């Protein structure tokens, strides 16, 4: 797994935590050949994190500081997993596709968001049980 981190002002200990959480999630999801670009942003009132994929730049996640940064990483890495395995296509013409079917649901009802919210909790429990800090 390769990931490139772009940061501006994040403390080194926080960057280390981010790296550990990304590795944990990538291993958990079986994405050993993942190439990921990570942007560590400044605080945002709108987002905790964001993920995207495009054919030219590959997988990208943006993480913003919060008290829940590890859970945010697990949430965004779930979206990376969904795209990696072909479950989610946000770039499909007309509407996003979930497991091959168009989906125009509102945010809280989108199946990929439901899964990401669930898995951020599951992975966080596994993370805590493993004693990774």
Type and span of the H or E element at 116: helix 111-130
Q: Pick the closest to residue 72 from 83, 82, 61 (CA basis).
A: 61
Say what the pLDDT of residue 44 is: 83
Say what the pLDDT of residue 27 is: 97
Distances (CA, A) of 66 to 13, 29, 47, 85: 14, 24, 10, 28
**pTM across the whole model:** 0.93
Low-confidence ranges of the chain (pLDDT < 50): none
Give the domain range for residue 51: 2-130
Say what the pLDDT of residue 8 is: 72
Share of the chain above pLDDT 90, in %: 77
Say what the pLDDT of residue 62 is: 94
| 3-state helix, strand and coil shares in percent for the chain, rounded to the nearest 5 | 40, 25, 35
- Structurally, the chain folds into a number of domains equal to 1
CATH code: domain of residue 56: 3.40.390
């Amino acid at each position: 797994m390769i990931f490139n981190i772009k940061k501006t002002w994040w403390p080194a200990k926080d960057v280390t935590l981010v790296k550990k959480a990304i590795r944990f999630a990538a291993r958990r999801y079986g994405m050993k050949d993942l190439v990921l670009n990570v942007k560590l942003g400044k605080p945002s009132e709108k987002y905790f994190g964001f993920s995207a994929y495009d054919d030219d730049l590959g997988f990208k996640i943006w993480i913003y500081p919060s008290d829940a940064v590890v859970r945010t990483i697990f949430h965004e890495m779930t979206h990376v997993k969904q795209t990696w395995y072909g479950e989610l296509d946000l770039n499909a013409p007309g509407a996003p596709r979930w497991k091959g079917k168009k989906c125009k649901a509102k945010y809280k009802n989108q199946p990929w968001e439901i899964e990401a919210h669930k898995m951020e909790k599951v992975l966080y429990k596994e993370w805590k049980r493993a004693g990774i800090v």
